[in-house]
């Protein structure tokens, strides 16, 4: 077991394109770190650099206390699960799982014991003498995991291990992975493009976009306090709604309502406002004593009842947001294909008891304290920007390293603080 | 509908028989000739009237000095050695071409193809002179080298196609599992490329086995003469009798090793060896 440190890691291909740009990330011993982002964001490349399957163009990679930039994969003491499993088709499950130990010249009796142990954990015992071709997708996936765990490596690397499974099996294996990591408490780096996997599995989640690390934090902080519009839109399902609005005289003007600006925001002028679907409600079910609640009426275009909740898509005018980051999100996450992606539509999650129907103008409510405000120029979170300014001022005298440590630890504390803000009446 | 498919079935069956007939008549004819006595060789009967095995036994009379035994040994040895060397070298080359990005890759492939298309007859003249100077004339090596020249491109092309089919992740998985590049190649890639290796082996063996141009030009004695060349030197019992029966018998015998070789290795050419390796 070991920690992993990426110092200013860059991957540059021969043609000059940079897949990963100056990535700094510290993964603690025993931590479950998720790398998440849309396809082509460099997350797999980053993982493969940790594995040693890609050269590192610049920067320094440490596993434990060793610089491993120039070590071959086999000298890094890592195990990897590939997206397409990469099982050795000419070997039985037993031989597949024991292959690494056999190469390491572990005595056969010990190999057998370890393989059978792992097979028991993964419920593969009766399949040990079969070939991969005769296994189902889920079983192959478990063999791939078994091959990794028998080795008892310092680090597990997983490259979208569940993306080839059907939806039901994926949920099942997700809990399996989570249980496995807790039991083994081995450092794990897990790449996925699925924000649900990221949110449910990770101790911390690193969100990447176009080779640049956007934010690294606990799922909760990512959800409550995204650093920019990209993270805000990527984390959460259905995705956050964005409206263009303006702040003046301490009021945020939205296409359908006006609310008091959150405390501590001194910005004025145009802003992008993000509201999560779950912060809307049918006005009938809105908490009556919520001070920051705002009611408005909007035409309901589409209604989707999920049983446990209802999604309504309501239209609004004059507040559509166009931004590069949003466009990229829409493209990669398929949001563009859902009704909410269309211009002038927003999605709200309502109480299943709601009797709102499609086509009517309905009374809706939203929690004005849970607005997310973003700078329209660069998409960064306004609230965070101001917090960081304050902190920067405080930390001006600290050394560079101290600043760095601060910004890595601080977000969780900040998130708690912010949550207090949100529940305090304004 | 029913009648149409029956008609198609009959049509295909008929076509199949035409092809089989076309392919087998010369072979059966050879067999027939090889079983005839010298007196009945030209009696125009397809089925021999009185069957004899003399044509076969005389080929081996006198042990190593017999007309066929020594050439047969030479043929088997030379073809096998050429096959082993060609397939070994070709599997390294093909692996590099399929997996690595290195300058001059296209040139190597184009060069290999160009050599494979070169007519052998145009190089035997110079080779004859060179080999005599170098002392390679009438030796195994003297035949194996030109065979490799033509067999390697053949084997490389075959193997590149097979190596490309093997998912790269398998090798990376092996590397992560602690394999050296050589171990990954030998334990993962090569077993999976086995059908390709055997296909290449069969092609190279047949090429070396069937060669006549190099064999007749670059050999002068039983020391290295192969069967196709030896056949040309068969003599009749007197200068007035053509050794038709003996040649036919030798021709039949020459096809036997090829059939055995193909049958052995064909069993290893099974599709779907990589099934189950990767998903998607």
**What's the pLDDT tens digit per position in A318-345?**
777 766 666 666 665 544 444 444 567 8
**B178 chain-A contacts, CB cut-off 8 A:** 74, 100, 103-104
Helix axes B244-266, B69-99, angle to 10 degrees: 30
Report how many Cβ contacts below 8 Å link chain A to chain B. 90
Least confident of A38-42, A65-69, A393-397, B159-163: A393-397
Q: What is the CB neighbour count within 10 angstroms for residue A421?
A: 14
Q: What's the mean per-residue pLDDT of chain A?
A: 84
**A82 chain-B contacts, CB cut-off 8 A:** 169, 172-173, 278
pLDDT value, residue A426: 36
Sequence-distant (≥ 6) Cβ neighbours of residue B200 within 8 angstroms: B86, B87, B90, B91, B154, B155, B158, B159
Least confident of A391-405, B229-243, B250-264: A391-405
- CATH for the stretch B59-266: 1.10.3720.10
Q: Using alpha carbons, select from A169, A173, A167, A166 the residue that is nearest to residue A190.
A: A173
Least confident of A18-27, A99-108, A119-128, B262-271: B262-271
DSSP three-state, residue B225: coil
Mean pLDDT of A395-404: 54
CB B249 within 8 A of CB B60: no
User: Which of B166, B178, B180, B272 to mutate to test binding with chain A, by most A CBs within 10 Å of its CB?
Assistant: B178
User: Based on C-alpha coordinates, what's the Rg of chain A?
Assistant: 24
Write out the two tokens for B163.
Answer: 């190596």
Q: Do A53 and B175 touch (CB under 8 A)?
A: yes
Which residue has better confidence, B175 or B66? B175
A107 vs A112: CA distance, rounded Å = 9
B266 vs B211: CA distance, rounded Å = 22
pLDDT value, residue A411: 47
Write out the two tokens for A343.
Answer: 């211009």
pLDDT value, residue A341: 46
Please state the domain extents for chain B: 2-54, 59-266
Q: Do A78 and B176 touch (CB under 8 A)?
A: yes
Confidence of residue B4 (pLDDT cuts 50, 70, 90): low
Exposed/middle/buried for residue B174 (C-beta within 10 Å: 0-12, 13-18, 19+): buried
pLDDT value, residue A419: 43
Q: Do A82 and B279 touch (CB under 8 A)?
A: no
Q: Which residue in A72, A86, A104 is closest to B173 by CB distance?
A: A86
Hey, which residues does A192 pair with through a beta bridge?
Answer: A36
User: Which of A84, A86, A104 to mutate to test binding with chain B, by most B CBs within 10 Å of its CB?
Assistant: A86
Alpha carbon of A186: minimum distance to chain B alpha carbons (Å): 17
Rounded to two decimals, the ipTM of the complex is 0.76
Q: H-type helices in A306-351, by residue range?
A: 324-333
Q: Give per-residue pLDDT as tens, A125-174.
A: 999 999 999 998 889 999 999 999 898 899 999 999 988 888 888 888 88
A414 vs A416: CA distance, rounded Å = 5
pTM of the model: 0.77
Hey, which residues does A36 pair with through a beta bridge?
Answer: A192, A207
Domains and CATH numbers, chain A: 4-222 (3.40.50.300), 239-380 (no CATH)
A187-192 vs A32-36, strand pairing mode: parallel
Q: Give per-residue pLDDT as tens, B219-244.
A: 988 889 999 998 888 876 666 677 88
The chain A residue lying nearest B170, using CA atoms, is A86
Write out the two tokens for B252.
Answer: 């039949």
């Amino acid at each position: 077991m070991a920690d992993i440190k990426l110092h200013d890691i860059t991957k540059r291909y021969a043609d000059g394109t940079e897949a990963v740009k100056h990535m700094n990330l510290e993964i603690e011993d025993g931590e479950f770190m998720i790398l998440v982002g849309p396809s082509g964001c460099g997350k797999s490349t980053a993982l493969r650099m940790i594995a040693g399957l890609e050269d590192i163009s610049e920067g320094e990679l440490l596993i434990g206390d060793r610089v491993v930039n120039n070590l071959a994969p086999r000298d890094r003491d890592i195990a990897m699960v590939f997206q397409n499993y990469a099982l050795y088709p000419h070997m039985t499950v037993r031989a597949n799982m024991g292959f690494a130990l056999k190469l390491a010249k572990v005595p056969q009796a010990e190999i057998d014991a370890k393989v059978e142990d792992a097979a028991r954990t993964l419920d593969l015992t009766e399949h040990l003498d079969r070939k991969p071709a005769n296994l189902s997708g889920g079983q192959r996936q478990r063999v791939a995991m078994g091959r990794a765990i028998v080795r008892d490596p310092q680090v597990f690397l997983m490259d979208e291990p569940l993306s080839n499974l059907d939806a039901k099996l994926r949920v099942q294996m997700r809990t399996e992975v989570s249980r496995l990591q807790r039991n083994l408490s081995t450092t794990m780096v897990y790449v996925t493009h699925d924000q649900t996997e990221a949110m449910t599995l990770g101790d911390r989640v690193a969100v990447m976009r176009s080779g640049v690390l956007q934010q690294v934090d606990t799922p909760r902080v990512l959800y409550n306090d995204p650093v920019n519009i990209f993270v805000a839109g990527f984390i959460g399902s259905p995705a956050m709604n964005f409206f263009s609005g303006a702040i003046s005289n301490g009021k945020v003007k939205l296409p359908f309502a006006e609310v008091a600006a959150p405390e501590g925001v001194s910005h004025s002028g145009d802003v992008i406002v993000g509201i999560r679907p779950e912060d809307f409600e049918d006005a009938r079910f809105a908490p009556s004593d919520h001070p920051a609640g705002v009611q408005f009426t909007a035409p309901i275009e589409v209604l989707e009842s999920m049983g446990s909740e209802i999604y309504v898509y309501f239209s609004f005018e004059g507040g559509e947001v166009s931004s590069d980051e949003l466009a990229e999100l829409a493209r990669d996450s398929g949001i563009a294909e859902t009704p909410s992606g269309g211009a002038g539509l927003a999605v709200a999650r309502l109480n299943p008891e709601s009797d709102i129907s499609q086509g009517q103008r309905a009374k809706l409510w939203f929690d004005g304290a849970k607005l997310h405000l973003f700078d329209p120029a660069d998409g960064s979170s306004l609230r965070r920007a101001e917090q960081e300014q304050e902190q920067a001022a405080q930390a001006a005298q600290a050394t560079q390293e101290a600043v760095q440590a601060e910004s890595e630890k601080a977000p969780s504390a900040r998130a708690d603080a912010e949550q207090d803000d949100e529940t305090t009446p304004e | 509908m029913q009648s149409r498919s029956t008609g198609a079935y009959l049509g295909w069956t008929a076509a199949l028989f035409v092809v089989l007939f076309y392919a087998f008549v010369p072979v059966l004819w050879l067999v027939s000739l090889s079983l005839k006595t010298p007196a009945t060789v030209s009696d125009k009967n397809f089925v021999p009237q009185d069957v004899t095995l003399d044509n076969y036994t005389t080929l081996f009379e006198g042990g190593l000095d017999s007309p066929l035994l020594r050439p047969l040994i030479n043929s088997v040895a030379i073809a096998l050695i050429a096959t082993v060397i060609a397939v070994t070298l070709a599997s390294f080359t093909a692996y590099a071409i399929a997996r690595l990005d290195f300058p001059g890759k296209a040139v190597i492939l184009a060069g290999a193809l160009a050599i494979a298309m070169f007519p052998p007859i145009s190089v035997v003249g110079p080779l004859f002179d060179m080999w005599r100077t170098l002392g390679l004339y009438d030796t195994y090596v003297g035949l194996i080298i030109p065979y490799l020249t033509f067999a390697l491109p053949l084997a490389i092309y075959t193997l590149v196609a097979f190596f490309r089919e093997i998912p790269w992740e398998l090798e990376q998985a092996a590397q992560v599992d602690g394999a050296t590049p050589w171990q990954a190649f030998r334990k993962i890639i090569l077993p999976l490329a086995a059908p390709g290796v055997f296909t290449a082996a069969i092609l190279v063996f047949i090429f070396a086995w069937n060669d006549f141009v190099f064999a007749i030009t670059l050999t002068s004695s039983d020391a290295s003469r192969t069967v196709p060349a030896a056949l040309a030197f068969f003599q009749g019992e007197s200068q007035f009798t053509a050794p038709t029966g003996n040649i036919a018998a030798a021709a039949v015998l020459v096809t036997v090793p090829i059939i055995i070789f193909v049958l052995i290795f064909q069993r290893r050419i099974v599709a779907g060896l990589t099934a189950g390796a990767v998903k998607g």
